[in-house]
Amino acid sequence: MKENNRNIEKRIENTMVALDNIKKASPRPFLYARIKARMDNTNVKQESFYLSPLLRYATICIIILIVFFNILTASQFLGSSTISETTNSDIEELTQEYYSEIITIDNLENYINE
């Protein structure tokens, strides 16, 4: 028990000596001027931030208008009768003309017998 008390007394004494040796902290020169300059710079950045939401809304509106006009143009283009529709006969003609020598299930027997 006495040893614990001695250890505690030594710690208290060491703490008191350390507290006696503490000096007052002094700031670097022009500390307050640097802090004020930094605060002034942050105010400038906040003013430029208020312009960005306006630009965002304008950009979104322009994109919506472009999409709307694209949909209108596409619907008019698809609804017009100038688009030629391919029929099965057109596809068969192209197949016979360009791909007549391709082996298919239909002409497999002919190809094997040759």
- How far is Cα 81 from Cα 83, in angstroms, rounded to an integer? 5
Assess if residue 57 is contained within a domain.
yes
Tell me which DSSP letter residue 86 carries: P
Averaged pLDDT, 47-69: 83
99 occurs within a structural domain: no
Q: What's the CA gap between 78 and 29, in Å, rounded?
A: 75
Largest CA distance in the chain: 115
CA atoms within 13 A on the CB side of 55: 5
Q: Pick 110 or 43 by higher pLDDT.
A: 110
- Give me the domain span that covers residue 11: 2-81
Lowest mean pLDDT among 14-18, 25-29, 57-61, 65-69: 25-29
Model confidence at 66, pLDDT cuts 50, 70, 90, reads: very high
Query: Does the predicted model carry a pTM greater than 0.85?
Result: no
In contact, 86 and 95? CB cutoff 8 Å = no
3-state helix, strand, coil in the chain (%, to 5): 75, 0, 25
Query: How many domains is the chain built from?
Result: 1
